[in-house]
Amino acid sequence: MKKTNNRSAAAGVILQGVSGAQGFAIGKASMYERSSLSVTVDRIEDDRRKQQLAKYRNAYSQVEKELQQMMDRQNDKNAEAVIGTQIAILRDPELDNSIERHILDKNQPADLAVQSAFDTFLSVMSGGGVSHEKGVVDITDVRDRLIQFLHGFDEDGITDGTILVAHELSPREVITCSEHDIKGIVMDRGGVDGHAAIVARSIGLPMILGTREATAKINKGDELVLDGQTGQVLMNIDAQSQDRYRELMKQREERLRDYLEICQKPNKTSDGLPFSLRANIEFEAELQTVKKYCAEGIGLLRTESIYLRRDFDDIDKQKSFYSTILKQTSPNPVTIRLFDAGGDKITGYESNDPNPFLGNRGIRWLLNKKELLMQQLRAICEVAANYHGLVRILIPMVSTLEEFKEVRNLLQQTQQELENEGISIDDNISLGIMVEVLNVALQADLFCTEADFLSIGTNDLTQYLLAVDRGNEQLSHLYDQRHPMVWRLIKNVVESAQEADKPLNVCGELASDPVSACGLMGLGITELSMNPAALPPVKKMLRQRSLSEMKQLATDLQHCQTISEVDNVYGEWKEK
């Protein structure tokens, strides 16, 4: 459904968001809003139950066919993988059975049964947390699509060649929109690690997220400029300013061509210090970009998608996933993070948690689900036997030494069981911890006595340090990973790791920013892991600067007291 505001946007108005996909776009705005869905609330008579079940089955088949055709049309593997996740949600046997039971046992009409079953599922999976995270958006979209087909209407048309403005889009909607040759997307909500943003980055579609008020401030037909570097949306700017952005678009195209050449060069600073750049990924499809930009392995392999697809009960599927990643990245290492459930992640096993970010999440959740944890450890160990020395296991959300020791004991128990069964193992698997809780960052020296390596997750570390929910768009101005205290905490971890001679890396978003990467190198961290698309610009800047320059940058950041001072330091660094 298209939406038009009654007021006109003033010339030169700027909306600030975050960049979900890099790039620039210039064009007229078109407004997109999902059709309002209402369901039948009246119960049906017994003799209508089979008819409503058949109606649901028909809608199910139509949605399945649509998603399968959409996946088959994709040339991009990331988009294909994300749509595959939606197909897996649709085919989830528990959901399907729940819908059938709502129709047959509770006499609900098909549309109400779909809404009831999905809403119960969403309530459980969100764990009381943020409702717009990537898995929840996917599930909601499948639910809404089923109801749309049950009601016999489709989404309204999308205007070709425009910049689409929406409250929020699912990955399926992003792909549908891209097939209308739109130039870019602006959204009120959404996160940079959401599936919609992943698809946009994969297909090269500029996207600005988290503006909060784009749909309220922008009208159909407004001239927009999307700045994927600053996360800004400019409205109705003058012709001279538009020309300047067209020149920036041209420069970016030239820069992208240069990236491939940069990535072929050695990972060394201007004065010869070697460094390692690795990739954070979740899907096999992302390996294309990993290879293109010459990442030295995987610094963070997220495994949550395994659980969203409900593949956790099938060890063979888990082994196949890990094997594919290792085979295509060998002889480089792969760090596999254990399933990170709770908080802003989703699970199908959790009752509502009144405070999910401080509740049953990460390793706490896994230790309460030992069968799932043991299944994952077994799958990893069996695959690691074929890739000696290349597999590292990372424990999420560790807050006590006891948690680490318990996981280590379970890993050793798993390895012993495999040996007893005559299955070979790699007894050199490194076991590390995510540094994302203040207790761990402040007592890094203690944790270094037990862990084989440390990996700093700056996303959650910043959240807990500043007491700011990183998913809360109303507080986004307070959430900044470059905060002076974040730098001081990182320095404390670096000193502890160096004294204990333990490997240390950063896998949070801070490593994806070129200037921040230089600051991390200046502190002594020579292994960084990031979104694959961030590898070329980070490598370019690291190669241009010397270690002495980076050490001075790190010192300057340590002396900052406010974000404004950090901004000044960053600005001066870029001007050098």
pLDDT digits (tens, 9 = 90+) for 424-472: 999 999 999 999 999 999 999 999 999 999 999 998 899 889 987 766 6
Q: Report how far residue 573's alpha carbon sits from residue 551's, in angstroms, rounded to the nearest whole number.
A: 12
302 is in an annotated binding site: yes
Residue 276 in any domain: the answer is yes
Tens of pLDDT, residue by residue over 334-365, are: 999 999 865 444 444 444 555 555 666 788 88
Q: The CATH number of the domain where 520 resides is what? A: 3.20.20.60
Count of structural domains within the chain: 3
Task: Give the length of the chain.
Answer: 576
Structure tokens at 256: 């992208």
**Nearest CA-CA partner of 435 in 410, 404, 413:** 404
Q: Report how far residue 125's alpha carbon sits from residue 181's, in angstroms, rounded to the nearest whole number.
A: 34
Residues 357 and 423 in one domain: yes
Q: Output DSSP code: residue 274.
A: B
460 is in an annotated binding site: yes
Q: Indicate the angle between helix axes 547-558 and 514-523, nearest 10 degrees.
A: 90
Q: The CATH number of the domain where 195 resides is what? A: 3.50.30.10
Phi, psi of 187 (to 5 degrees): -130, 145
Residue 365 neighbours by CB distance under 10 Å: 25
Q: What pTM value is reported for the model?
A: 0.73
436 is in an annotated binding site: yes
β-strand partners of 16: 232
Q: Report how far residue 162's alpha carbon sits from residue 155's, in angstroms, rounded to the nearest whole number.
A: 17
Q: Report how far residue 351's alpha carbon sits from residue 375's, in angstroms, rounded to the nearest whole number.
A: 22
Residues 414 and 457 in one domain: yes
470 is in an annotated binding site: yes
Domain final position from 119, 151, 183? 151
Residues 313 and 194 in one domain: no
Count Cα neighbours of 317 within 13 Å in the Cβ-side half-sphere.
Answer: 10
Structure tokens at 2: 């298209």
Structure tokens at 272: 């010869």
Residue 458 burial (10 A CB sphere; 0-12, 13-18, 19+): buried
Q: Output DSSP code: residue 478.
A: G
Write down the pLDDT at residue 560.
Answer: 96
Residues 143 and 171 in one domain: no
Residues 452 and 378 in one domain: yes
Write down the pLDDT at residue 508.
Answer: 85
212 is in an annotated binding site: no
Tell me if 17 sits within 8 A of 210, measured CB to CB: yes
Residues 296 and 342 in one domain: yes
Q: Report how far residue 516's alpha carbon sits from residue 533's, in angstroms, rounded to the nearest whole number.
A: 16
Q: Report how far residue 535's alpha carbon sits from residue 421's, in angstroms, rounded to the nearest whole number.
A: 42
Write down the pLDDT at residue 132.
Answer: 39
Domain around 121: 47-151
Give residue 358's identity as a one-letter amino acid code.
L
Structure tokens at 35: 């059709």
Residues 559 and 502 in one domain: yes
Residue 90 in any domain: the answer is yes
Residue 8 burial (10 A CB sphere; 0-12, 13-18, 19+): exposed
Residues 235 and 106 in one domain: no
Q: Report how far residue 380's alpha carbon sits from residue 261's, in angstroms, rounded to the nearest whole number.
A: 35
Write down the pLDDT at residue 485.
Answer: 95
Residue 1 in any domain: the answer is no
Tell me if 284 sits within 8 A of 533, measured CB to CB: no
Residues 207 and 276 in one domain: no
Tens of pLDDT, residue by residue over 387-430, are: 999 999 999 999 999 999 999 999 999 999 999 999 999 999 99
Residues 458 and 569 in one domain: yes
Residue 5 in any domain: the answer is no
Mean pLDDT score across all residues of the chain: 86
Helices (H), 74-194: 77-90, 93-104, 110-126, 134-151, 171-178
Q: Are strands 453-456 and 18-21 parallel, antiparallel or unpaired?
A: unpaired
- DSSP annotation string for 488-542: HHHHHHHHHHHHHT--EEE-SGGGGSHHHHHHHHHHT--EEEE-GGGHHHHHHHH
pLDDT class for 238, splitting at 50, 70, 90? confident
End-to-end CA distance of the chain: 49
Residues 121 and 172 in one domain: no
Domain final position from 191, 220, 253? 253
459 is in an annotated binding site: yes
Domain final position from 121, 151, 181? 151
Which residues are designated catalytic? 195, 507
